Structure 1
Amino acid sequence: MRAIPVARMTLALAVVAATAACSTTSGGDAAEGGKAGGTLTVASPYPTQSLDPHGAAGAATGTQIAGQAIFSRLVRAKPDGEMIGDFATKWDVDPQATTWTFTLRDGVTFSDGSAADSADVVASIKRVVDLKGPNAANFTGIDAKADGPGKVVLSTAKPDPALLGKLTLLFITPSDVTEQSFTKPVGSGPFRVDSFTPGQTLELLPNPDYYGGAPKLDKLVMRVIPEVSARMTALKTGEIQATWGIPDDQVAQLQGDDGLTVQSVPATSVYTMWFNSGVPALAKPEVRRALWQAVDFDTIVTSLYPQTGEVSKSVLAPAVLGYSALEPPKYDAAAAKAALQAAGFDFSTKLRLQFSGADYRQFIQAVVADLNKIGVKAEAAEKESAVFLEDLLAMRWDINFQSLSTPTFDAATNLGRLYTCAAKRNGYCNPQLDTVLNEAGSISDANKRKELYAQASQIIWSDAVGMYPMSLKIAYAWRSEVHGLEPNPSYLPDFSTVTLS
């Protein structure tokens, strides 16, 4: 078996572009000047509806932000994609990538003082799979066994070279955890829960027993302020001290404030607008391609996101292993309408375009307007976060919008998880695509995997499983008293090292 030192383990794809942050700075040094104490209040554009990282909300950005603060993982990804140890100190993998052995840290405890060991890791994997949440497919088929309290062995029937990245989505909870435990969960991460109001506020205190050293803050408060203008006002007045996911029209105004630092980082996200191929009106690829052609994404992206957006050339962000550039459809409203007519599209059909979040409202309205121009009866359906997630999984939508991130930096996480026939996530099923994805997910040769994921992306793109209009940069802003905040390309900032002056 080949030992992989923690500090040197990187993803198979070197992603220099992902770390070259496009930045403008006004006031404050983010790396120096901090001290212990104080309350850091931040506002996320994504509400946290649940603190259970294994269930239905496990893939929600708000739950993941909270999860990395409260729980440990075997490994985690740095903002540049480098994989480093968290609960694990090192790992070994056999040449076939079918057996992974993780050595755990000694003396790790949960925030209630109980010991955390290999049994908790094994139980966490089992719980993710049993709950059948959105991340379950990443861990289905893994045989997890404890090798004493300090080692865990994960075995797969087929090679799984992407397993290390998938494990960044596995949050370790106590083996005896219950659903009721997540009102105030116990974890071994840098913070512990003080109070939680779903969809509104999460208040965290430092975990004094955290193996990485307790954070130097007195308290971390994560608020949800969905309206952009209110969030920007709160930042300027000091009601909050940091936020991210800032729209372009606000970035320039914030850059002119001497008391703020503003930085943008290329994201691992692509705006993704799945068609529900299970709906009769959207079953034909000719119809889906025509609807994509009917939207002038060049103009929409240029108008709404001149600094943080770019028309996407793939279903994946450039930073992700498996990315390959493709040619976006050329906008042509007349040709799109003719193609719909030729495909027998019923123009009396109403298409519900569901989304969640005020930040996306203008974008969605622009898409709906372009579809309406050619006689397609599209309508925006803005939903509260919990309802959106429930309806997403239940397929109660015709077109679904989400900013789909790949925090593992590996195409297996999203392509292999969301586009197979078995996934049943968008009504689309293509046995040819299944074959390509299965092969890509079961070989260890990185170059061959890239080729296969490029083939898979081409199939998804050509069949217009969705529209993939924009890859983006994430704009972060924080006040001058905040130090040590590093912008994250997956909307998942780490506050455990932040200090206040």
Structure 2
Amino acid sequence: MLSRLNNTARLLTSSAVLALMLATAPQAFAATPADTLVIAWAIDDVITLDPAEAFEITMGEINGNTYDKLVSLDISDTSNVKPDIAESWTVSDDGKTFTFKIKPDLKFASGNPITAKDVAYSFERAVKLNKNPAFILQQFGLTGDNVADMAKATDDMTFSFTTDKAYAPSFVLNCLTATVGSIVDSVLVKEHEEPVTASDEYKFDTDFGNGWMKTHYAGSGPFKIRDWRANEVLVLERNENYAGEKPGLQRVIYRHIPESSAERLALENGDVDIARKLAPQDIDAVSKEDGIATDSAPKGTVYYISMNQKNETLAKPEVLEAMKYLIDYDAIGSTLIKDIGTIHQTFLPSGMFGALDENPYKLDVAKAKELLAKAGVPDGFSVTMDVRNVQPVSAVAESIQQSFAQAGIKLELIPGDGKQTLTKYRARNHDIYIGQWGTDYWDPNSNADTFASNPDNSDDTKTKTLSWRNAWDRPELTKESADALLEKDTTKRGDMYKDLQKKVLEEGPFAVMWQETEVAAFRKSVKGYKLGPTFDTNLLAPVTKE
């Protein structure tokens, strides 16, 4: 069977062959063709392909390789943005209106021309759909009622974007590098719009193509999305209409292989080209192989546990503090996340403007017991934690379960795939959640706005930050976070974010544990592969294979 797969793999453009590959056992893959890159990763967090709705780590990377935006992060200098489909831009004297000139002669993968009308439509549908990432645009005062006036095409090649306040221009531009800033093919998407009855989900009489876009592609990036099968595979294909330098590869296949040992075996056998979810021991092992190289990069991603304040026991300040003293950070750092993370306890990742590098907590069972006694639960209590079935998250959850038990806290782990745990978490139906947060754009507000701010704690609010997900409502921190956006003095603005981090560190329902160091192991036949500072800057267009 494996031999037959190897012979047929060169015809990978055939859907039948792809289906044959998917039908095999997880350890049995076809050998990778010369024009195809196969990446082993955990892609069970993919819920939708629509950039106006997608808000997960995997789709951040996919989107960064398949959609263009007005501007993109300059990975050679993350303090800057660079032109993408925008040729240039200006800011009005009052600091509120940004005018973008669109590059001429650009096309979507469909062949339709890219115009300012596509940009305006992309902004309008994102705001009106009001899915998870919409707040990134809505924070500038955009609503379903005014977006057509505040984000509009003034001619075919000019797009005007007006904000409600004079924010720092760098902040506005950085927000436009987020996934929600992706430009979609308005002609193609409109062909697939469906009428809907206005409801809690849709406030307007159209779905703006969201039903179709959940499983289809309408972009202009170097690759286009050809196929997605949940918890199995996601296939990209070269976009022949891409205006920039064409990718060196015909296609890229992401295989869902969440187990480190299975990834390692597939990589060593040559069945995959890149392994992206290796545990420390497997990284050590493959690094000794002659035909395998590694690359690593610190990411703007932090891992944390969060405690839902709707749970009366977890809402006690002493219980929150006790839990922060019941995590064995040293053991986690030296074993479970060795080489793939660094202990980090504040919500801004190191390397970002305003980051506070303080790690005051360590495992202290005696201290935790004192705090639990003060909270009126000296013998502990029972509680649940939702855990995504990937490493190192599962292993860290088990470590926390053991250290919690030392103070009498009985922690039940509830495993699930990425979609299951995220859906429950976003509905505020958890006790404790363990997960990761990747910055949406390279500005401290991206994390401050979600860890510290909660403008409306009601169940039906439109703004669902991480603070909201955990029912943590501190109006003074919400105000401080908003004020930091308008502070023009760079030093003062940085100090404001440091103050926010200290307060969330001490009082918040979050125990941030580590910052990710992403490691990719790849066969040396792969050339030009380099990890970026964010997942959407893990760029595939420069990659080739010998």
Q: Is the deviation greater in 228-237 or in 85-94?
A: 85-94
Aligned to 1:74: 70
Q: Which residue matches 2:42?
A: 45
Counterpart in the other structure of 2:346:
314
Aligned to 2:366: 334
| Residue from 125, 128, 145 that aligns with 2:126 | 128
Residues 258 and 277 in structure 2, CA contact (< 8 A), matched pair in contact too: no
CA contact (8 A) 2:38 2:254 kept: yes
2:153 aligns with 146
> Normalised by the size of structure 2, how large is the TM-score?
0.81
Counterpart Cα distance in 2 of 1:188 and 1:311: 38
- The answer (yes or no) to whether the contact 1:281–1:346 under 8 Å persists in 2 is no
Shift of 1:344: 2.1
Of 473, 484, 498, the residue aligned with 2:543 is 498
- Residue identity opposite 1:216 in structure 2: G
Instruction: Please give the secondary structure, in 1, of the residue aligned with 2:313.
Output: helix
What is the CA–CA distance in structure 2 between the aligned matches of 1:496 and 1:335, rounded to whole Å?
52
- Which residue, 395, 413, 416 being the options, matches 2:449? 416
The AA in structure 2 aligned to 1:286 is: E
**Does residue 218 of structure 1 match 2:250?**
yes
Q: 2:185 aligns with which of 149, 155, 174?
A: 174
Quick one: higher RCO (CA 8 Å, sep 6+), 1 or 2? Answer: 1
Distance 1:203 1:219, change over 3 A: same
Aligned residue in 1 for 2:499: 455
From 57, 60, 75, give the equivalent of 2:56. 60
Distance 2:225 2:358 in 1: 45
Distance 1:243 1:164, change over 3 A: farther
Amino acid at match of 1:281: T
Q: What is the count of residue pairs matched by the alignment? A: 464
Equivalent position of 2:241 in the other structure: 209
Counterparts of 1:351 and 1:132 in 2: how far apart (Å)?
A: 33
Match of 1:468 in 2: 512
Return the letter of the residue paired with 2:64: Q
Match among 283, 289, 313 for residue 251 of structure 1 = 283
Larger Rg, first or second structure (1 or 2): 2
Gaps (5+ residues) in structure 1?
A: 1-35
Contact 1:98 1:159 in 2 (8 A): yes
Residue correspondence of structure 1 range 26-425 to structure 2 within 5 A: 38-47=35-44, 48-55=46-53, 58-80=54-76, 81=78, 82-94=80-92, 97-140=95-138, 141-142=141-142, 143-161=150-168, 162-169=171-178, 170-175=181-186, 176=190, 178-182=209-213, 183-345=215-377, 349-359=381-391, 360-422=393-455, 423=465, 424-425=468-469
**Residues 258 and 449 of structure 1, relative CA distance in 2, 3 Å threshold:** same
Query: What secondary structure sits across from 1:168 in the alignment?
Result: coil
Distance 1:97 1:254 in 2: 52
Partners of 2:535 and 2:290 in 1: how far apart? Answer: 24
Greater CA deviation, 417-426 or 283-292?
417-426
Which segment drifts farther, 247-256 or 84-93?
A: 84-93
Normalising to structure 1: TM-score of the pair? 0.88
Distance 2:381 2:334 in 1: 30
Task: State the distance in 2 between where 1:65 and 1:373 align.
Answer: 39
Shift of 1:312: 0.9
Distance 1:252 1:327, change over 3 A: closer
The separation in 1 between residues aligned to 2:272 and 2:545, in whole angstroms, is 13
Report how far residue 317 of structure 1 moved: 0.9
- Give how far 1:85 is off: 1.6
Q: Deviations over 1:253-308 (max 9, x none)?
A: 11101111112212211112121122211112221011111222122221222323
Distance in structure 1 (CA, Å) of the matches to 2:357 and 2:42: 29
Aligned to 1:7: none
Determine the C-alpha separation between the residues in 1 that align with 2:282 and 2:303. 20
Alignment match, 1:444: 488
Return the alpha-carbon distance in structure 2 between the equivalents of residues 284 and 110 of structure 1.
53
Cα distance in structure 1, aligned partners of 2:515 and 2:236? 32
Cα shift at 1:387: 1.2
Q: Distance in 1 between matches of 2:394 and 2:345?
A: 23
Identity fraction in percent? 24
